[in-house]
Amino acid sequence: MAADNPEPIIAVGTIALDTVETPSGRVEDVVGGSGAFFALGASLLAPVRLVSIVGRDFSHWDDLDRPNIDLEGVRRTDGKTFRWGGKYRDNINLRDTLFTELGVIAGYVPELPAGYRSGRTVCLANIDPPVQLRVLDSLDHPEFVVADTMNYWIQSQKESLLEVLRRSHVLILNDEEARQLTGQPNLFEAVQEIQKLGPATVVVKKGEHGVVLAGRDDYCALPAYPLRRVVDPTGAGDCFAAGFVGYIQRAGSRSFDTMRTAAAYGSALASFCCEDFSIRRIKKLSLAELEERVESFRRLVHFD
């Protein structure tokens, strides 16, 4: 890994108060949201300037307080913080959303601090596509745009999402979403159609089955890091994006080979995320621990 002083990543995403029930237990009003998971994860590898919004009821600043996270872009405003509630089934890959209370996210128009505008690497974590577009519009010359999305936006904001894709270099989504976005049951075909929409590189997350990274001519497939026990998968996808973008930024290269290793960092970070509720495990994770897991991961998939 190169780059002693990686440039900051500009990231936009939600900060949420999550209420989550899994077979391992239940937590209430704990820190969640794509922006929070992304910032905490990626900050192990590169500085993050976070663009987000919370209500006056948000009090978990300690959880986001890290030397590598700049919170100047997080607006505090009247109203309630975005809340999400979900319950995972015994098959932890299945979850039901119990409630979504948009709160201050509704009608959010992000304003970037002046110092953020020169950012060249941007992660548009999972949030309303018009918000993602507004962040893109606010940047002077975004060079490397990684977009994350989810089924909800594919249904409800397809036009804005397509505009995001036109301006993105990498799209991260799950297999079901790839099929939903393109109407293609075959994942190969789906990926090729997505590439026609803009992003040269498509990362398809398959949960416990790992991840596929597709460039124009290159292909990489990695299994998920095997966990003996998944406590709470919430945020694992955001943590994948965090490890992926964080590693690329730290390496100072956007080659496909760099992205292969970045996918391993993303998978490793996602696996840590699942080991405890909310941001608990990610928050106390060290870079050395992350690198050690990437090393185990390397052994896992290695053959002579």
Binding flag, residue 303, its own copies (CB under 8 A) = yes
Joined together, the tokens standing for residue 291 give 């690198």
Does residue 15 bind its own copies (CB under 8 A)?
no
How far apart CA 81 and CA 15 sit, in angstroms, is 8
Q: Which of residues 71-90 bind its own copies (CB under 8 A)?
A: 90
> From the CB of 86, what's the least distance to its own copies, in Å?
20
219 near its own copies (CB under 8 A):
yes
Q: How many residues does the chain have?
A: 304
- Yes or no: say if 53 and 33 are a contact pair by the CB < 8 Å rule: no
Binding status of residue 106 toward its own copies by CB under 8 A: no
Residue with tokens 């929070």: 36
The enclosing H or E element of 193 equals helix 187-196
Q: Closer to its own copies at the Cβ: 112 or 211? A: 211
Per-residue contact track with its own copies, 120 to 149, x per CB under 8 A? ------------------------------
CB environment 197-225: b (16+ within 10 A), e (fewer): bbbebbbbbbbbebbbbbbeeeebebebb
61 binds its own copies (CB under 8 A): no
Contact between 181 and its own copies by CB under 8 A: the answer reads: no
Contact call for residue 99 and its own copies (CB under 8 A)? no
Q: Taking the complex as a whole, how short is the minimal distance between the CB of residue 195 and its own copies, in angstroms?
A: 14
Residue 185 beta carbon to its own copies: minimum distance, rounded to whole angstroms = 6
The type of residue at 96 is D
Per rule CB under 8 A, count of chain residues that contact its own copies? 30
Supply 215's token pair: 């460039």
Interacting residue with its own copies among 80, 254, 260, 280 (CB under 8 A)? 260
Q: What amino acid occupies position 177?
A: E
Contacts of 232 (CB under 8 A, 6+ apart): 20, 22, 24, 27, 88, 274, 276, 277, 278
- Is residue 95 close enough to count as binding its own copies by CB under 8 A? no
At residue 226, φ and ψ (nearest 5 deg) are -75, 125
Site stretch for its own copies (CB under 8 A), options 8-16, 105-113, 123-131, 212-220? 212-220
Using CB under 8 A, which of 141, 196, 216, 228 touches its own copies? 228
CB of 194 to its own copies, least distance (A): 15
Q: Please identify which residue in 48, 202, 212, 279 interacts with its own copies, judged by CB under 8 A.
A: 212
Nearest 5°: phi and psi at 185?
-70, -30
302 binds its own copies (CB under 8 A): yes
Distance CA 225, CA 134 (A): 35
Rounded-to-integer distance, Cα 55 and Cα 290, Å: 32
Q: How far apart are CA 190 and CA 179, in angstroms?
A: 6
* 115 or 226: CB nearest its own copies: 226
113 makes contact with its own copies (CB under 8 A)? no
* Binding footprint of its own copies on the chain (CB under 8 A): 90-91, 185-188, 206, 209-210, 212, 219-224, 226, 228-229, 257, 260-261, 263-264, 298, 300-304
